[in-house]
Structure 1
Amino acid sequence: MTARTQLLDRAVAQAMSAVSAAAKRGLGDPALAELVAIRASQLNHCAFCLDMHLEIARKHGVREQQLDLLAAWEEAGDDLFDERERTALALTEAVTVLTDGFVPDDVYERAAKHFGERELAHLIGLIVAINNWNRVMVSRRVPPGGYTP
């Protein structure tokens, strides 16, 4: 597969990168940030972002078994994903899919119990940022393999 276009306005790319970086810094947990990015990218079928964030996750020490079973995190059990990770993944799915047009109250309230107000704001910012990147890459059909750290 070849990309429809490689063109992405530099100012747009810089702004999107700045949002992503700020959200990750504010969350303060690089491994969790990568799990969130990977899960959203799975849901959005973004091969480029999956390829990139899987590589970054490994560098941050995310276990291979977590990466292998991330698509089935709800069934994987509490031993593989702790409650904080499970909460972040549930929020990621709710924000990414928005099947009912909103994030369900119980998902948000659960997240608010596990993340402080600032952390939660950064987590939501991170989820929104990766969804933006997914849509930019998928709409242009950018194939995996072009990521360089």
Structure 2
Amino acid sequence: MTVRTALLDRTVGQAMSSLSAVAKHGLGDPALAELVMIRASQLNHCAFCLDMHLTIARKHGVSEAQLDLLAAWEEAEGVFDERERAALALTEAVTVLTDGFVPDEVYAKAAAHFDDVRLAHLVGLIVAINNWNRVMVGRRIPPGGYTP
């Protein structure tokens, strides 16, 4: 495996970092933001992002039960509330666009739990973490390099 020293052009990296920060802040729930980023990173097999966001999630008070069961959130009754479940369903739908679109029912459930602004930030966060996953996986960046 080859590790690249420069992840991105500085300006592209700054733009991606800005999108991530604005979307996460605008969502207004750092713990939920971390669950979303971890779930997308699981789907995209991004070890670097998983390592990083699991560390951050613990600092934001995400429970070990949620972290342990996140990959099977749909079956984990009582571990995730309806708002979290709606955000995770939207995360999966946007991350894995197998049908080329987000199903109406998934979007409607998310829209029922988030106002227009927070929903826009949630979608922005999902897009941002998918971009980061693709950079880190595409550049073959291994886990363990994140320091808070």
TM over 0.5: yes
Would you say how many aligned residue pairs link Structure 1 and Structure 2?
147
Instruction: Verify: 1:45 aligned to 2:45, yes or no.
Output: yes
The question of whether the paired residues in 2 share the 8 Å contact of 1:2 and 1:143 is answered with: no
Give the Cα–Cα distance (whole angstroms) in 1 for the partners of residues 144 and 80 of structure 2: 28
Give the Cα–Cα distance (whole angstroms) in 2 for the partners of residues 117 and 9 of structure 1: 32
Offset at 1:9?
A: 1.1
**Runs ≥4 in structure 1, deviation > 3 angstroms?**
none
Which amino acid is 2:88 matched to? L
Instruction: Verify: 1:121 aligned to 2:117, yes or no.
Output: no
Partner deviation per Cα, 1:48-105 (whole Å, 9 max, x = no partner):
000000000000000001000100000011x210000000000000000000000011
% identical equivalent positions: 80
Give the corresponding residue for 2:104.
Answer: 105
SS of structure 2 residue aligned to 1:57: helix
What is the TM-score normalised by the length of structure 1? Answer: 0.97
Offset at 1:6?
A: 2.1
Give the corresponding residue for 1:61.
Answer: 61
Question: Aligned ranges for residues 1-149 of structure 1 at < 5 Å?
Answer: 1-3=1-3, 5-7=4-6, 8-77=8-77, 79-149=78-148
In structure 2, the gaps of 5 or more residues are none
Give the Cα–Cα distance (whole angstroms) in 2 for the partners of residues 19 and 148 of structure 1: 20
Offset at 1:148?
A: 1.3
Give the Cα–Cα distance (whole angstroms) in 1 for the partners of residues 140 and 97 of structure 2: 23
Which amino acid is 1:45 matched to? H
SS of structure 1 residue aligned to 2:85: helix
The question of whether the paired residues in 2 share the 8 Å contact of 1:6 and 1:142 is answered with: no
Give the Cα–Cα distance (whole angstroms) in 1 for the partners of residues 134 and 58 of structure 2: 24
Offset at 1:10?
A: 1.1
- CA RMSD in angstroms comes to 0.7
